[in-house]
Amino acid sequence: MHFPRSKVNQLPFESADSSSEQLYALHAPAIFAYVRLYIASREVAEDLVIDVFLSALEHSYLLARSTETQRAWLRKTAYYKIMECCLPGVYLELCCKHIFLLVSYALSLVY
């Protein structure tokens, strides 16, 4: 899957350093794919990913962390952004989809 680069110009990287750009380039495709597991609309998913990275810019200590720690922080933040976006109406559907994915994964391990 290819994450659209057109949204990069909308991020406030003019005031950020190259490490912020590297953070985005390294993690944006994976965070976008993660968000798309829960959000059907591509446009909404792109907006949520931008929100996640804007939050990352506010936490400069994140840039000094390991790649794994950065990815975990970004995924956790994306999860909370998804919850904010979906509550209250879609939350049940989101939970059902998540449970379905977990059950499907568990069954794939058994069979």
pTM, full prediction:
0.65
pLDDT at 1: 40
Percent of residues, the chain, with pLDDT higher than 90:
38
Across residues 23-35, what is the average pLDDT? 94
CA angle 76, 6, 77 (to 5 degrees): 10
| pLDDT, mean over the chain | 78
Q: Which residue has the higher pLDDT, 102 or 61?
A: 61
DSSP per residue over 28-59, as a string?
HHHHHHHHHHH---HHHHHHHHHHHHHHHHH-
